[in-house]
Structure 1
Amino acid sequence: MNFSPKQITFISLMLFSMFFGAGNLIFPPFLGQSAGDQLWTALAGFIVSAVGLPILGVIAVAKAGSLNDLNLRVHPLFALLFPFFIYIAIGPGLAIPRAGSLAFEMGAAPFLPENLAVSPVSLLFYSILFFGLAAWLSMYPSKLIDLFGKLLTPILLVLIAIIFVKSLFDPIGSFESPTGNYRENPLFQGILEGYLTMDALAALAFGIVIANTLAAQGVVDSKEKSRYMMYAGLGAGLLLAVIYLILGYLGAASSSIGQAENGAIILSNIMTYLFGQTGTLLLGIVFTLACFCVSIGLITSCSQFFSNVITKVSYKAWVVILAVISTAIANLGLTQILQISVPILGMVYPIAIVLIILGLLDELINKNRYIYISVIGFVAVFSILDTINKVFLENYLSGTFNILPFYIEGIGWLVPALIGLIVGYILSWLKGTPVPRTNP
């Protein structure tokens, strides 16, 4: 079956909307204001990691056939546990309730009387409505192409385009000198900022939605499915890059109207400058749409995963369960949830990255299980110890961890990964397994 460019475009728009949440809105403007006249260099680094890693994740899943097939290359137990941690971390444990909470703070609270804006009852009613509607639309995943590709995503893109065009006719200001780490190495700092979005985890999780959507459209051949998943990933990546360039530009130009401590405040300042009080409404719609699309995408992907693992509970039942849990967590207060979930997210992310890299290099390493197990094992041990150090030992061991190159920057797992690769080679040689080719 051959998809038309129009169909591929709609699938790409669907995937883009599943990636593009509130975090993706506020990271680039803050980067832009911090990078100043080094904006384009910093954005190049940001796009490498914030766009490159997620798209490579989609491609790795597409090449393997599914996330489960990719995980099985390591070990059946890994294939059972690792996805569970991914879907909990980016689903009801953090990302879904956070999306609902941010949608309320940016899209509803500014328009309520002060006493209602801070009232827990207001958040409760809003989150019930928000997640109830998200759950209802998630009940029919085969309709996501129409919902995202033809409706929600185009609306979101038009709104961002309006903001950008307005900024061209009514310039905000000029770029100023970079601050912080952007002074010395804007490219590397941009790469680190993109890395911290952790969207590669979402890429692994969203693969199941794209695959099932293609199947619902009549694509059953595994090679065709992989090819269209790659097309969708590349299309979504291109669109993400364009939006990041726009938001980064707006952030860099905003220094003249006041410095801010986060991207949400920067965007609020920009919108007030460009549109006056109407800007608050426009920004609220943009945030709400972004959070809503991500919530639907996450509820759908998590429900499809859990219904495949625990078959006695149907997909639709999981949709309801996840919506209820997300509503409850969003109203319990995200501060405590973040204290637990963010370290777990940080523990899982390095493992996800090396799994993606190994999946992409699968042919080069001759599908060697020793290398998969060794690299994943060393990185997992490092990530677990690092998480224990941060959560339970109050960074008592950080002095020891600081010996590792780039540990402070958040990528201290590089050396354990290289050690695992060397050990994997040695084990392959000792066991008589064909060693990986040195040339592609």
Structure 2
Amino acid sequence: MKVLKGQDILALGFMTFALFVGAGNIIFPPMVGLQAGPHVWMAALGFLITAVGLPVVTVVALAKVGGGMDALSSPIGKVAGGILAAVCYLAVGPLFATPRTATVSFEVGMAPLTGDGPLPLFLYSLVYFILVFFISLYPGKLLDTVGRFLAPLKIVALAALGIAAFVLPAGPIGDAVPEYAASPFSQGFINGYLTMDTLGALVFGIVIVNAIRSRGVESPQLITRYAIIAGLIAGVGLALVYFSLFRLGAGSHSIAAGAGNGAAVLHAYVQHTFGSIGSVFLAVLISLACLVTAVGLTCACAEYFSEALRLPYKALVVALALFSLLVSNLGLTNLIHFSIPVLTAIYPPCIALVALSFCKGFWHSQGRIVAPVMLVALVFGMVDAIKGTSYASYLPDVLAHLPLSDQGLAWLVPSVLALLAAVICDRLLGRPEHAVA
């Protein structure tokens, strides 16, 4: 029976870590640290739940069912599961996350060196997606290209930045903004959504499993075990990166007060600590981090839609790279503006799906539990999403003041109530073969 060597397992863990750590993972924690001030570690706890805990749990859940999101979503039916999968793949693929990797890496790493503007962005994104295209053409070699080469470079760069954040703080911790002073945990929890890591885990599951199979491992038990180990390695790596970036942001009040985003915080810190050479370092770090994530997302989306639509994998890689290139040239501000309400709406049902997948032994029928809970989570997630748009005034007053609504968690209490009601119905109906028609 074929097994992975220790160095292959480590490379798999590095690959999984590298796939997750993209632009959002680097730019959002410093902003949380800056705004949370003395409450930074309580905010960090909430952030780590949605940006580390949920992605690792999702990798484990997918590994148990073979890596495919279709198997995980089977309790809600083929059509609903297909729609959910398509939405997740498109959100973390060509619509938002993949183009965002190019725009963030340009604005944070390259724009200070080349100047901002449509032409530099286009030229950068063109070269960027040409690289993404060529690496993504050979998904079976991801363990070699990403796990053994790109990931270690990325880890070294992140380690250097992380150590500097603790050894060379820019200054004392500043005051918290009102939102973080009032509810640091929930603010951190919601900001963890923006990394898209849980949605990314739903997409990367099949990439991780295929990377294991590319080494000749066929045993479902071994595939699950290796995927869990890879998820845990990635989770530890993510937590270490976030802790260092929270500390970096919290100590940057004197040099980045009033910064509009985490990219500005990072740039201010690197410029302050490392001088002009810091800009070059930051450009390499961000570009490398984003490139690896873009490759993983493109491979995953191409593999999914190739199987779902029966289209050639390489043709889909071309189409995804071209579409991502076009969307990336809309600019970072527009991408973030459109992505926030979408993520706020689709995260709750995805969280419910992953959480309930570990509890299937507690009830008679998965479908009776998972489908209604996910539906309720989606409906109230959409309420949270609408509250963050210009259409908030159209919401009925009762929906605007639900429990935990101020924390952006209006979906949580209704979902728990839906779960309780579904469990009671499941108990009354009994096992499906004996259920009353």
Q: TM-score, normalised by structure 1?
A: 0.91
For 2:331 and 2:183, the matched residues in 1 are separated by 37
Is residue 51 from structure 1 mapped to residue 52 from structure 2 by the alignment? yes
Q: What are the superposed Cα offsets for residues 261-307 of structure 1, whole Å, 9 maximum, x if unpaired?
A: 32111111111111111111111111111111111111011001000
| Aligned residues of 1:63 and 1:226 also touching (Cα < 8 A) | yes
| Aligned residues of 2:344 and 2:382 also touching (Cα < 8 A) | no
Aligned residue for 1:293? 292
Match of residue 72, structure 1, among 71, 74, 97: 74
For 1:42 and 1:64, the matched residues in 2 are separated by 33
Which one-letter code corresponds to 1:81 in the other structure? I
Q: What are the superposed Cα offsets for residues 383-429 of structure 1, whole Å, 9 maximum, x if unpaired?
A: 35655676684441063323321123222111221232123123323
For 2:365 and 2:337, the matched residues in 1 are separated by 38
Which one-letter code corresponds to 2:304 in the other structure? F
Match of residue 91, structure 2, among 89, 92, 104: 89
Q: What SS does structure 2 have at the residue aligned with 1:370?
A: helix
Aligned residue for 2:21? 20
Q: What SS does structure 1 have at the residue aligned with 2:61?
A: helix
For 2:152 and 2:124, the matched residues in 1 are separated by 24
Aligned residue for 2:271? 272
| Aligned residues of 2:91 and 2:97 also touching (Cα < 8 A) | yes
Is residue 345 from structure 1 mapped to residue 340 from structure 2 by the alignment? no
Unaligned runs of 5+ in 2: 433-437
Which one-letter code corresponds to 1:413 in the other structure? W
Q: 1:159 to 1:357 in 2, by over 3 A?
A: same
Deviates more, 1:135-144 or 1:155-164: 155-164
Q: What SS does structure 2 have at the residue aligned with 1:223?
A: helix
Q: 1:247 to 1:383 in 2, by over 3 A?
A: closer
Aligned residue for 1:321? 319
For 2:393 and 2:19, the matched residues in 1 are separated by 34
| Aligned residues of 2:363 and 2:423 also touching (Cα < 8 A) | no
Q: What are the superposed Cα offsets for residues 4-34 of structure 1, whole Å, 9 maximum, x if unpaired?
A: 3322211111111111111110111112222
For 1:382 and 1:180, the matched residues in 2 are separated by 25
Deviation at 1:158, TM superposition (A): 1.4
| Aligned residues of 1:374 and 1:423 also touching (Cα < 8 A) | no
Aligned residue for 2:8? 7
For 1:41 and 1:333, the matched residues in 2 are separated by 32
| Aligned residues of 1:377 and 1:420 also touching (Cα < 8 A) | no
Q: 1:64 to 1:169 in 2, by over 3 A?
A: closer
| Aligned residues of 2:4 and 2:215 also touching (Cα < 8 A) | no
Match of residue 411, structure 2, among 400, 403, 413: 413
Aligned residue for 2:233? 235
Q: 1:404 to 1:337 in 2, by over 3 A?
A: same
Q: What SS does structure 1 have at the residue aligned with 2:76?
A: coil
Aligned residue for 1:437? none
Deviates more, 1:370-379 or 1:14-23: 370-379
Q: What SS does structure 2 have at the residue aligned with 1:261?
A: coil
Deviates more, 1:129-138 or 1:95-104: 95-104
Aligned residue for 1:438? none
Q: What SS does structure 1 have at the residue aligned with 2:405?
A: coil
Q: 1:184 to 1:416 in 2, by over 3 A?
A: closer
Match of residue 161, structure 1, among 138, 159, 162: 159
Match of residue 372, structure 1, among 364, 370, 381: 370
| Aligned residues of 1:299 and 1:323 also touching (Cα < 8 A) | yes
Q: What SS does structure 2 have at the residue aligned with 1:193?
A: helix
Q: 1:164 to 1:55 in 2, by over 3 A?
A: closer
Q: What are the superposed Cα offsets for residues 324-383 of structure 1, whole Å, 9 maximum, x if unpaired?
A: 111111224455555544323322111100001011222233553211122122223333
Which one-letter code corresponds to 1:69 in the other structure? A
Deviates more, 1:396-405 or 1:96-105: 396-405
Aligned residue for 2:170? 172
Deviation at 1:227, TM superposition (A): 1.5
Is residue 100 from structure 1 mapped to residue 102 from structure 2 by the alignment? yes
Q: 1:74 to 1:8 in 2, by over 3 A?
A: same
| Aligned residues of 2:47 and 2:189 also touching (Cα < 8 A) | yes
Q: What are the superposed Cα offsets for residues 162-192 of structure 1, whole Å, 9 maximum, x if unpaired?
A: 2344455544222234332333443443333
Identity of aligned residues (%): 37
Q: 1:382 to 1:192 in 2, by over 3 A?
A: closer
Match of residue 121, structure 2, among 123, 135, 140: 123
For 2:247 and 2:34, the matched residues in 1 are separated by 8
Aligned residue for 1:208? 206
Q: What SS does structure 2 have at the residue aligned with 1:400?
A: helix
For 1:398 and 1:57, the matched residues in 2 are separated by 34
For 1:224 and 1:346, the matched residues in 2 are separated by 35
| Aligned residues of 1:271 and 1:283 also touching (Cα < 8 A) | yes
Which one-letter code corresponds to 2:103 in the other structure? S
For 1:98 and 1:195, the matched residues in 2 are separated by 15
Q: TM-score, normalised by structure 2?
A: 0.91
Q: 1:179 to 1:143 in 2, by over 3 A?
A: same
Which one-letter code corresponds to 2:22 in the other structure? G
Deviation at 1:317, TM superposition (A): 1.0
Q: How does 1:30-45 map to 2 (within 5 A)?
A: 30-45=31-46
| Aligned residues of 1:389 and 1:396 also touching (Cα < 8 A) | no
Alignment length, in residue pairs?
A: 430
Which one-letter code corresponds to 1:89 in the other structure? A
Deviation at 1:46, TM superposition (A): 2.0
Deviation at 1:75, TM superposition (A): 1.1
